[in-house]
Amino acid sequence: MNEGLSAAYHEAGRAIAAYRLNYYAGRITLMPDKYATGDSNCEIGRCNSLKDTEWTIVLFAGFAAQSRYDKDTDEPGSLNNDKKVIALLNIHNETELSLWKTAKELIDKNWTIVEAIAEKLFVYKTLEENEWPIIIDAFDEGENWEEYFDKMYNRLSIFKFFYLPPTKQSSYC
């Protein structure tokens, strides 16, 4: 399996989980940056309203998507997520297995969307906070996601070129 595509599935899984749980998820990227702990990153705002159980599901969803794409995956970077999960599990009495099951079910239910986001992430290497949700919206509205994404992505590219300063920072909750 392609490592870059495997990472794209991981980040797409985390993004869709955060989105479906109604929490902010910013840009997703396969490019390392100073804030990422590995070679890829999904910016998820840790809002005060995000419950530990939901945060755990988001953390598990990355590996759930990646392992569905590649049955033989053994991602070293997931160790960092596992440490966060262990700390969260000490706070409440939810079991790891039930939260993993919930994350896996969320990924399975949204699998075609995860595939679509991963595909575009692999092509573009980074999708901004206003780009990847276009794919989810297209699916939710019954649109052809590829045509809808390409049309909206082109519009956003023109807008960014003419109206946004060269550097733009994502904002959290």
pLDDT, tens digit, 9 for 90 and up, residues 13-53: 999 999 999 887 888 988 765 554 445 566 665 555 557 77
**Quick one: three-class SS letters along 82-147?**
HHHHHHHHCCCCCCHHHHHHHHHHHHHHCHHHHHHHHHHHHHHCEECCCCCHHHHHHHHCCCCHHH
168 domain residue, yes or no: no
Structural domain that includes position 112: 3-163
CA distance 13 to 7: 10
CATH number of the domain residue 52 falls in: 1.20.58.760
170 is a domain residue: no
- Residue 151, classed as helix, strand or coil, is helix
Segment 143-163, tens digit of pLDDT? 999 998 888 888 877 766 666
- What's the full length of the chain, in residues? 173
pTM: predicted TM-score of the whole model, two decimal places: 0.76
**Is residue 142 assigned to a domain?**
yes
136 within 8 A of 130, measured Cβ to Cβ:
no
Number of domains the chain contains: 1
What are residue 126's DSSP bridge partners? 29
**How far is the CA of 2 from the CAs of 9, 49, 66, 70, 99, in angstroms?**
11, 36, 11, 9, 28
Residue 78 lies in a domain: yes
Structure token digits, residue 95: 């079991």
**pLDDT tens sequence across 66-82:** 989 988 776 555 555 65
- Is 111 among the domain residues? yes
Would residue 100 count as lying in a domain?
yes
pLDDT exceeds cutoff 60 at 101? yes
pLDDT at site 45:
57
Give pLDDT, residue 37: 47
Whether residue 128 lies inside any domain: the answer is yes
Task: Say how far apart CA 133 and CA 25 lie, in whole Å.
Answer: 9
Q: Is residue 169 part of a domain?
A: no
User: CA-CA distances (angstroms) from residue 155 to 49, 86, 130, 150?
Assistant: 33, 42, 11, 9
